[in-house]
Chains A and B, each alone.
With several copies, the nearest count.
Chain A
Amino acid sequence: MEFNLSDNTTMVADTARRYLKDHYGFDTYMQQLNQLNHCDPSRWELMRELGWFGLPFPESVGGYGGDLIDVAMIVREAGAVLCLDPYVDLVIGPGKLLEYLGTERALKVLQSIVDDDERVACALYDYHAGYNILKPSLSINGSKLSGRKNFVPDGGCANRVLTTAMLGDELTLVLVPLEGCEVTRYRGLDGSRLADVLFDDVVIDEEMILSRGVKVERAVSKAVAWLQALDCARMYGAASALYQRTLDYAKTRKQFGAPIGSFQVIQHYLVDMFTDLQQLESMLFMVSVKADLDDTLEREHACSATKAYYADKGVKIAQQAIQIHGGIGVTEELDIGHYFRLMTYCSLTHGHGDYHLDRIAALGEECDRG
C-alpha cells in the first residue's frame, strides 16, 4: 500500500494551487456571489489551457488519460480558495457520464466539451425522486419529454442539458437543447448557480436519446461516484483552510490577557479538529482511488463511507471553526462562514449522511448474501 502522489499528480496539484491562488480567493468569491452569470470567460479559458478540461478523459477525445486523484487534487485546492467556477459540474460530471456511455455520439459530445467550449449541464435530480438517481420523476411519453428537474448545477449557463428520464421502465439519458425549456435560476447555499428546468412536452427525436437501460444505469452510477469523491475533495480543501485559519486565529486573538489558544478547552477543540482532519485526508485518498473501481460493491461502499464521514466530521470542523472565531465567524465579511456554507452544501449533494449510512447497511446485507 502506498499513499504518495505520483510525480504527475503532484505537478497537477502544485500547478492548480498556484493558479487558483493567483486567480481566486475571497475577493473573487464575493464578486461571483453577486452574479447569477457564468464564470469569467478568461478564467475559463485559462483552465482549458492548464489542460484541466481533458485531464481525466481518453486521448481519443483529446484528453490526457489522467486519474480521479488528479482531478481530486485540483478540486481540493479549489475548495480551499472558495472557487465557484463550474469545472466539476460542466466538465467532469457530463464528461464522465458521456465517457461511460461510450457510444460514438456520446464521445463526440465529450470531445466538444474538451475542445470546443460546449457547455453541457447534468440534470440528475428532482425533489420528488430525491437521491434516487435511478428513478427520476421525469418521463418520456409518446416521444415527448415532460416534467421537471431541480438543482441542476449551472443549468442556467449551459447550452444543453444531459438529463435522465424514464422511458417506460428504462432509465434513459437524453441530451436536450436548453432553448426550448423553461429555466429558473437561483443560487445554491454555497454560492453556486443552480437551476430548475421545466420540460414542457419537449419533442424528443431518436438523435437526442443517447442510450437507455442498464448501460445508462451503470454510467450514471459510475459518474456519480466521481462526483461524490469530488464533493469530498472540495470539503477537504475547505476543512483544511478552516483548520489553519482557526489555529492561526487562536494563536493571535487575545481575550483575558492571553491568546485564546492558551485555554485548555480551545486547545482540545483544535486537537479534535486536527485529528479529524487527518482522518478526512485518509478517506479522501481512499475514495480518490476506489470511486473509480469497476466493482460496484466496493466502489459504492467507499463512496458512501466517505460521504457519510465527511457529512459528519467536515461539518463539525466548520461549526467548531465558527465557535472558536466567535462573533466574527458568523459574519459575511470573513471567509469562515462561507466555508461553512460550502461544507453544508457538499454534505447534501449526491446523497446526505443518512442516505449513505442506509446504503452501507444495505450493501452489507448484499455482501452477506453474496
Chain B
Amino acid sequence: MNLQFTQEEQEFQKTIRAWMRENIPEEISRISALGEMPEKSQQQQWEKRLGKQGWLAVTWPEQYGGPGWTATQRYLFDLERAMAGAPPVSPFGVAMVGPVIYTFGSAEQKERWLPGIASGETLWCQGYSEPNAGSDLASLKTRAERKRDHYLVNGQKIWTTQAHWADMMFCLVRTDPDAKKQQGISFLLIDMNTPGIEVRPIYTIDGHHHLNEVYFTDVKVPLDNLVGKEGMGWTIAKFLLTHERTTIAGVADSHYALARMKMAIDEAPYYIDKQQARRRVAELEVELMALEYTNFRTVAATDEGRPFGPESSGLKIKGTELQQKMSQAMVEMGGLMSLVWDSSSAVGNESFNHSPRRYNFLRACTIYGGSNEIQKNVLAKMLLGL
C-alpha cells in the first residue's frame, strides 16, 4: 500500500502543469471557468495542439502514436488538463474508434485512419442510438446492404454528439436482417461528406447544439470501411464498453468543478451563508474522494497489468451521480444569481449565472452511454449473479 506518487510522477505532473499553463488558450480556460464548453474551432485547435505534442492519443500503444505513459501518468495528465481549465478530449476518435481500429482493423485501416485521430485532424462521431434503440441498443434497424463494391446504408441515428463537427462516423449497422438481435450487426466507418447523409441539429436544455439526428438515404460506403467481419459489430461494441475505465469516473473534471465552486463561494459578495455552503462542499468533497480512491485502484491495476476488478464497476454510476449533485449544488448556492439564463454581462458572480446551463446539460450524463438503470441491471446480472 503506497498512496504517494513517485518522485518521477511528481516531476511529470509538474511538467504537464507548466505546459498546460503556457499552452491552453485563454479563451478556452475562460469558457471552462464558467462551466461551459468550447466551440468546434476552439476544441479542434486545442486538440491539434495536443496532437502536435504527441499528447492526444494518450491511451494508445506507442506504435500507433501514444506517448507510452503509464495509467498513473495519464491520470495526472488528465487532472492537470482539467485543473488548468481545458476541456476533455472528444472521446469518439481517441478513446473509441481508435482502439477499435488498432484492435480489430486491417493494416490498411490502421494506416489510413489512426494518424488523423492522433493528430486531431479528423473529427469523429458515434452512430449507435436510434429512435427505437436507446437503452435497448440491440434493436437497432439502420440497414447496410452489401452491394458489389459498397454497402448501401439506409436508416437513422439519433443523439449523435458532434455529428455536425465530424468528418467521420463509426456506426453500428445491421448487415444481416435475418439474424437474431445482437447478431447481424456490423461496425462501419462512414465519411460524413458522403451524399445521402443529412445531419439535423437537436438542441439540448442547456440551450446548446451538441446532439444531432443523422439520416442515411442510399448512402454508399466502401466495403473497405467495414471493421472486423460482418456480424462482429456487437462484439466490438462490448469491447469498447470495458476498454478504458481510468477516466470514466470523471474525477479530474469533478475536481475542477469543486475548485470552481469553492472559488465562487469565496468570491460571493453577500448573502450566501458561507459556512453552510462550505459544509455542502465538504459533503461533495468526501464523495469525490471516495470516487477518486476507487478510481486510483483501477489506475493502479492497469499499471500492474491486472484486469479491472469489481471496484471499477460502479465508476460510471457514481461519477455521473456526483457530477449531477455538484452542478445542482452550484445552482442552489447561487440563489438569485442562478436565475439568469442569457445575460451578456455578469449579474453578480458569472459562474453562478452560467450554472443552470451546466446543471441542465448534466441531466443527460446518467442517461447516455447506457442509463444508470441499465448499468445497474447489467451489474446485477454479471457481477452479483442475480
Residues of A within 8 A of B (CB): 1-6, 9, 69, 125, 127-132, 150-151, 184, 186-191, 194, 196, 247, 250-251, 254-257, 261-268, 270-272, 274-276, 278-283, 285-286, 288-290, 305, 308-309, 313, 319, 322-323, 326-327, 329-333, 337-338, 340-341, 344-345, 347-349, 352-355, 357-358, 360-361, 364-365, 368
Which residues of B are found within 8 Å of A3, using beta-carbon distances?
1, 3, 296-297, 300
B287 touches A (CB below 8 Å): yes
Contact status of A345 and B339, CB under 8 A, knowing A1-B3, A196-B347, A331-B204: yes
Which residues of A are found within 8 Å of B386, using beta-carbon distances?
247, 250-251, 261-262, 266-267, 270
* Closest A residue by C-beta to B75: A1
Which residues of B are found within 8 Å of A313, using beta-carbon distances?
290
B182 touches A (CB below 8 Å): no
Which residues of A are found within 8 Å of B270, using beta-carbon distances?
127-130
Which residues of A are found within 8 Å of B275, using beta-carbon distances?
361
Residues of B within 8 A of A (CB): 1-5, 72, 129, 132, 134-136, 139, 158-159, 202-205, 207, 211, 262, 266, 269-273, 275-276, 278-279, 281-283, 285-287, 289-291, 293-294, 296-297, 299-300, 304, 310-311, 313-314, 317-318, 331-332, 334-345, 347-348, 356, 359-361, 363-364, 366-368, 371, 373, 376-377, 379-380, 383-386
Contact check: which of A128, A275, A358 meets B269 at CB < 8 Å? A128
Q: Do residues A186 and B347 form an inter-chain contact, with CB atoms below 8 A?
A: yes
Which residues of B are found within 8 Å of A286, using beta-carbon distances?
3, 289, 293
Contact status of A131 and B271, CB under 8 A, knowing A283-B293, A330-B363, A349-B339: yes
Q: Do residues A354 and B313 form an inter-chain contact, with CB atoms below 8 A?
A: no
Which residues of B are found within 8 Å of A150, using beta-carbon distances?
336, 347-348
Known: A150-B336, A337-B360. 18 other contacts (CB 8 A): A130-B336, A151-B336, A186-B341, A189-B338, A189-B340, A247-B386, A267-B384, A271-B376, A274-B313, A274-B383, A282-B296, A289-B3, A309-B290, A331-B202, A340-B205, A341-B356, A349-B339, A361-B275
Contact status of A188 and B340, CB under 8 A, knowing A130-B335, A331-B203: yes
Q: Do residues B1 and A6 form an inter-chain contact, with CB atoms below 8 A?
A: yes
A-B contacts, CB under 8 A, total: 269
Interface pairs (26), CB distance under 8 Å? A3-B296, A127-B270, A127-B348, A130-B270, A131-B271, A150-B348, A184-B345, A256-B135, A270-B386, A274-B379, A279-B314, A279-B318, A289-B3, A309-B286, A309-B289, A309-B290, A322-B363, A323-B371, A327-B158, A327-B367, A330-B204, A330-B364, A330-B367, A332-B207, A338-B205, A364-B285
In angstroms, Cα B384 to Cα A5, docked, is 25
Which residues of B are found within 8 Å of A132, using beta-carbon distances?
271
Smallest CB–CB gap between A320 and chain B, Å? Answer: 10
Contact status of A305 and B285, CB under 8 A, knowing A341-B360, A355-B335: yes
Smallest CB–CB gap between A16 and chain B, Å? Answer: 16
Q: Do residues B1 and A131 form an inter-chain contact, with CB atoms below 8 A?
A: no
